[in-house]
Structure 1
Amino acid sequence: MKQVNQIEKNAKRVNKNLNSKLKGNPKELYDAAGHLIVHGGKRLRPYMVIKSCQLLGGKTSNAMYPASAVEMIHNFTLVHDDIMDNDEMRHGVPTVHKKFGLPIAILAGDVLFSKAYQLITKSELSPNATNQLISRLAKACVDVCEGQLLDIKMAESKKIPTEPEYITMIGKKTAALFDVSCAMGAICATNKDGDISNLSSFGRNLGIAFQITDDLIGVMGDSKITRKPVGNDLREGKKSLPILMAIKLAKGKDKKIILKVFGNSKATKKNLNEAVNVIRTLGIEKSVRNQAFRYAEKAQKSLSSYSGTFKKDLVTLLDFVVKRSV
C-alpha cells in the first residue's frame, strides 16, 4: 500500500507539470494531446526517472522535466499505437482518434513528441547532461518504433515466433522506455558511466518483466480491472508469451478451441470465454510468472551495489510490477 501511495503522490506532481505544459492554441489540439494523460496512467516511467535520480544523490527538481518528457513520449506512443490497432477504448475512455478524429490525433501525438524534447532543454542541467538525455531518449524512440514494427510483422505472419523473438520485440517496444527512464534519472544525478549503465539495466529488465506480466493479464485478466473485453489479446491475434505457450501446450480439442478465436475479429464472447478457460486449465500462469521473475531477478542484481530508501523504492516497484493480479 505504501508503494501505491508513493506512486500516486509522484503521479500528482508529474500530472501538475504535464498539465501546465500542455496548454495552448488551438485548444482542441492540446485537449487531444492531454486526453489520455487526464484520464489515467500510473506514471511508472516518471517515477523511475525520479527514483533513479534520488538513488544516486541527485536533486528531485533536476529530474522533473525529464520525468515529464518521458511520460509525454509514452503517451505519444499510445496515441499512435491506438491508431495503428484501430482501438476504440483506453483507460476506460474513447481513444484520441475516436474522440477527436484521425488528423487531430496524429497532430496530438506529434505535439507530445516535440514537447518532450522541448521540456528537456528547459532543465537546469549541464549542456553535456542535456545532450545525453536528448540522445538517449531519441534512441529509445527509435527502439520503440522498431519494436512496434516487429510486433506488427509477428501479427501478420502465420509463423509462431520463438520466445527469444518475442523477448527481442518487447525489449524494444516496451522495455526501451523503462530502460531510458532509469538511465535519464541517473544522468540527472551523475556523469559516471557505471551508475548510468546499472540503472539502465535495471530499467530494461524491469520493462521486460512488466510486459510479460501485462501480457498474462491481457489474456487471463479480469475485464473489470483491465477495462478490456475478455480475451481481447486472443481476438487480436497477439503473439504474446502466454498465448505462444498456450498454443504450444494445448492438444486436440483444446487447441482447436484456442485457434478458433485466435486472430478472429468476429469471435463470439462465448467462444472467447471458452478459450480463456482452456488456457487457465493449461497451468501456464506459473510458467509465465516464472519468466517474469527471472527478469525481475536480473533487474534487482543491477542494483546490488546500492543501498538505502530509494533502492528499496525501486525494488518494491519491481515487486509490485511482477506480482500484479490477473
Structure 2
Amino acid sequence: MELQEYFNEIVRNVDMEIQNRLKGDVKGLYEASYHLFTAGGKRLRPLVVVSVANVLGGDINRAYLAATAVEILHNFTLIHDDIMDQDTIRRGVPTVHVKWGVPMAILAGDLLHAKAFEVLSDALKGLENDRIFLGFSEFAKSTEIIAEGQTMDMEFENRNDVTEVEYIKMIEKKTAQLFSCSAFLGALISKANDYFLDKAKILGLKMGTAFQIVDDILGLTAEEKDLGKPVYSDIRESKKTILLIRALNEASESEKKTIMEGLGSKDPEKIRKAAEIVKNLSLDYAYSLAEKLAEEANRIIEEWDSNTSIGGKALKYLVELTVKRRK
C-alpha cells in the first residue's frame, strides 16, 4: 500500500467517526463543535496513533477510535486557544468564537472535551483493567499538561527575559504532549510492554517539539493563504518563540530596539520590520533545532522497525514532514 493511500484511509475512518460522534438535538452547539473539522487540518496526531499501532501490532479498529479521541481533544484545545489569543482565522475560516460568539465557543470546546473521553472509552473497552487505567490516566494528564503549557505561553507574553530552556519546556507541554499521548495510545492498544510505552512517549515528544518549532518558523515565513491565519501574529501578540528568544540574544542594540517596538504593536510596518530582523537572526538556528529533534525521533523508529512495515515508513515520513512542511 502506498503511503498516501495509507494516510487517506486513516483520515477517512477518523473523519467518519468524528462526524458520527458530533451529532445531537441542540443543533447550534454541534455545528459549532464540528466547524473546525470541516475546515481541514493535517490529522497528524491520528496518523501517529495508527502508525505506531501498526508498527507494534495493534488492532486497527481500536487505533481508529483512539486516533479519533486524540483529534477531538486537539480541536477542543484549538477552540479555547483561539478565544484566549483573540484569533479571528483558523485553517482559513472564521474561528468558532467569531462565528458563534464566545459563550457558544466555550460550550463547543467543553462538548469536545467530554466527547474525546467518551470515544477513548470505546477504544479501550475490553482491554486489561491496568491498560484501561493507563490510557485514561495519560489522556487526562495530557489535558492538564496542555493547560499548563498554554498558561506558560500567556505568561511569557508579559516577559522579555524568557530563556530557550523555558520555551522548550512550554512547547513540550502545550504542543508536544498530545503527540506524546498519541504515540503512547498507539502503543498501549498494541499491548506493548513498558519499554515500548516509554519509547512511544519520547518519540511523540520529539516529533511534537519539532512540529511547534517549525510552526513558529512558519508564522514568520509562510504565506497567509498557506498558513490559514494572519502572518506575524506571534510578533503582534508578543509570543516568546524560539526565533524571538534567539534574535533578542543575537541582536545589536538598534536591532533589539526595532524588535521591541514591533512586539505587541498594532502598526503593521513596525511588526514587519521586527519580523524581518527576527528571521535574519534566528531561522537557521531554529531549523537546526527541529532537525536535531527529528533525528532523535527517527532513531527510535529505526529501533522498532527498519522501514519494513507501512507503519514504520509512515512514521519516518511524518517526522520528515514535521520539519520540512511549508504550511
Unaligned runs of 5+ in 1: none
Partners in 2 of 1:139 and 1:281 — Cα distance? 38
Partners in 2 of 1:125 and 1:322 — Cα distance? 37
**SS at structure 2 position matched to 1:302:** helix
State the Cα deviation string for residues 20-75 of structure 1 (Å, max 9, x = none): 10000101111111111111211111111111111101121121111100011100
Residue pair 1:219, 1:243 contacting (<8 A) in 2 also = no
Partners in 1 of 2:35 and 2:73 — Cα distance? 14
| Cα shift at 1:127 | 4.2
- Selected match of 2:293 from 287, 292, 295: 295
Identify if the C-alpha distance between structure 1 residues 102 and 30 changes in structure 2 by more than 3 Å, giving closer, same or farther: same
Residue pair 1:198, 1:303 contacting (<8 A) in 2 also = no
Instruction: Find the counterpart in structure 1 of residue 222 from structure 2.
Output: 221
Aligned positions of 1:16-35 closer than 5 A: 16-35=16-35
Partners in 2 of 1:110 and 1:39 — Cα distance? 20
Partners in 2 of 1:287 and 1:4 — Cα distance? 31
After the TM superposition, which of the residue ranges 222-231 and 101-110 deviates more from structure 2? 222-231
Instruction: Find the counterpart in structure 1 of residue 181 from structure 2.
Output: 180
Instruction: Find the counterpart in structure 2 of residue 155 from structure 1.
Output: 157
Identify if the C-alpha distance between structure 1 residues 181 and 23 changes in structure 2 by more than 3 Å, giving closer, same or farther: same
Partners in 1 of 2:227 and 2:28 — Cα distance? 28
TM-score (norm 2): 0.93
Partners in 1 of 2:292 and 2:220 — Cα distance? 20
State the Cα deviation string for residues 196-238 of structure 1 (Å, max 9, x = none): 1111110011111111111111122222211332321111100
Equivalenced residue count is: 321
Aligned positions of 1:3-14 closer than 5 A: 3=3, 6-14=6-14
**SS at structure 1 position matched to 2:19:** helix
Residue pair 1:7, 1:42 contacting (<8 A) in 2 also = no
TM-score (norm 1): 0.94
Residue pair 1:257, 1:271 contacting (<8 A) in 2 also = yes
Instruction: Find the counterpart in structure 2 of residue 245 from structure 1.
Output: 246
Identify if the C-alpha distance between structure 1 residues 217 and 235 changes in structure 2 by more than 3 Å, giving closer, same or farther: same
| Cα shift at 1:257 | 2.0
**SS at structure 2 position matched to 1:174:** helix
Instruction: Find the counterpart in structure 2 of residue 192 from structure 1.
Output: 193
Pair 1:142-2:141 in alignment: no
Partners in 2 of 1:191 and 1:210 — Cα distance? 25
Aligned positions of 1:261-300 closer than 5 A: 261-264=262-265, 266-268=266-268, 270-282=269-281, 284-300=282-298
Instruction: Find the counterpart in structure 2 of residue 103 from structure 1.
Output: 103
Instruction: Find the counterpart in structure 2 of residue 235 from structure 1.
Output: 236
Alignment RMSD: 1.6
| Cα shift at 1:292 | 0.7
| Cα shift at 1:100 | 0.9
State the Cα deviation string for residues 239-259 of structure 1 (Å, max 9, x = none): 000111122222143322221
